[in-house]
């Protein structure tokens, strides 16, 4: 069943958005929803041109104006060129969504320095490169420039076999707060969205702890809402952060409570029995009596 949008279909009318990692997954759905909600044009940036071309083709079938730029967020010149494409094609840039990411499972003692650096460069350095390249264009936006980075909740506690992405996502959250602090005077707002397990994404299949444990016969912690999220729910959070002009420097978890990660100490039925027993004993003792509990 198709998701219903929370927003009018023209709430982003006139805006231009650049989405890194826009050729697939969450990045593509963000681009699609931005287009369906009135964006004048979207620019997709990614490393694989064949994916980008296919994504643009799909967007145009939905009557969304879109172009793409094949480049690497680790390369500052590529980032500047992607921003220039947005300005030249659509006349400006109003929204940047940093959705490009690199990730893999590895025990900390088995990660090479190059492997750790690759994740940090794509996620943290790449996010800075594109955001820095977009600064001048965003500060000229008549709507107020918006930067939204897609992070994660991995670093809120700790996550097995995810040392590199934990470090990278923590860096993005910290950088988001600092950019919000420094760039607020220019009218720019910088926030992040932290997805939990999202259906139909490589991350759910390859990285989700709950999926891995389920394969091994254990239920795992799972999302507190007992389902995976959708790419549309992440996109709607990005739209909301474009619209609310008094939110900046924040990271919005959209994870169904998954990051809490606390399994019940005992079954709910046992807790009910204990609490009823305590209450019954309290009533029988009467006021002023001392409990032995």
Reported as a single tens digit per residue, the pLDDT across 205-246 is 655 544 444 443 333 445 566 788 899 999 999 999 999 999
Do 255 and 122 sit in the same domain of this protein? yes
In this structure, is residue 75 part of a structural domain? yes
In this structure, is residue 1 part of a structural domain? no
Does this model's pTM top 0.75? yes
Do 241 and 289 sit in the same domain of this protein? no
Reported as a single tens digit per residue, the pLDDT across 141-150 is 999 999 999 9
Do 188 and 67 sit in the same domain of this protein? yes
Stated as kind and residue range, the H or E segment containing 139 is helix 126-139
In this structure, is residue 7 part of a structural domain? no
DSSP per residue, 34-73: HHHTT-SEEEEEES-HHHHHHHHHHHHHTT--EEEEE--T
Chain mean pLDDT for the chain: 88
Q: Which residue has the higher pLDDT, 224 or 124?
A: 124
In this structure, is residue 79 part of a structural domain? yes
Reported as a single tens digit per residue, the pLDDT across 34-83 is 999 999 999 999 999 999 999 999 999 999 999 999 999 999 999 999 99
Do 216 and 234 sit in the same domain of this protein? yes
Decide if 175 contacts 120 (C-beta within 8 A): no
The domain total for the chain is 2
State which residues form the domain around 271.
Answer: 264-293
Do 121 and 205 sit in the same domain of this protein? yes
């Amino acid at each position: 069943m198709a998701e219903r949008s929370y927003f009018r279909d023209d709430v982003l009318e006139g805006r231009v958005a650049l989405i890194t990692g826009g050729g697939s997954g969450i990045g593509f759905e963000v681009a699609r929803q931005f287009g369906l909600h009135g964006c004048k044009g979207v620019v997709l940036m990614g490393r694989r041109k064949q994916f980008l071309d296919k994504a643009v083709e799909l967007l145009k079938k939905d009557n969304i104006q879109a172009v793409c730029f094949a480049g690497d967020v680790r390369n500052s010149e590529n980032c500047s060129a992607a921003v220039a494409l947005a300005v030249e094609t659509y006349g400006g840039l109003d929204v940047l969504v940093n959705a490009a990411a690199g990730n893999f499972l590895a025990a900390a003692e088995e990660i090479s320095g190059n492997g750790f650096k690759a994740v940090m460069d794509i996620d943290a350095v790449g996010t800075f490169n594109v955001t820095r390249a977009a600064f001048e264009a965003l500060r000229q936006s008549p709507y107020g420039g918006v930067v939204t980075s897609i992070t994660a909740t991995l670093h809120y506690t700790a996550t097995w076999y995810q040392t590199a992405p934990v470090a990278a996502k923590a860096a993005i959250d910290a950088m988001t707060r600092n950019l919000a602090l420094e760039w607020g005077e220019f009218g720019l707002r910088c926030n992040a969205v932290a997805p939990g397990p999202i259906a139909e994404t490589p991350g759910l299949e390859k990285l989700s702890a709950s999926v891995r444990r389920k394969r091994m016969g254990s239920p795992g912690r799972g999302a507190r809402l007992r389902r995976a999220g959708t790419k549309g729910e992440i996109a709607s959070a990005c739209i909301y952060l474009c619209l609310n002009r008094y939110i900046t420097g924040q990271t919005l978890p959209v994870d169904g409570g998954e990051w809490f990660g606390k399994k019940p100490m005992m079954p709910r039925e046992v807790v009910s029995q204990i609490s009823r027993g305590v209450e019954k004993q309290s009533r029988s003792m009467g006021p002023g009596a001392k409990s032995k509990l």
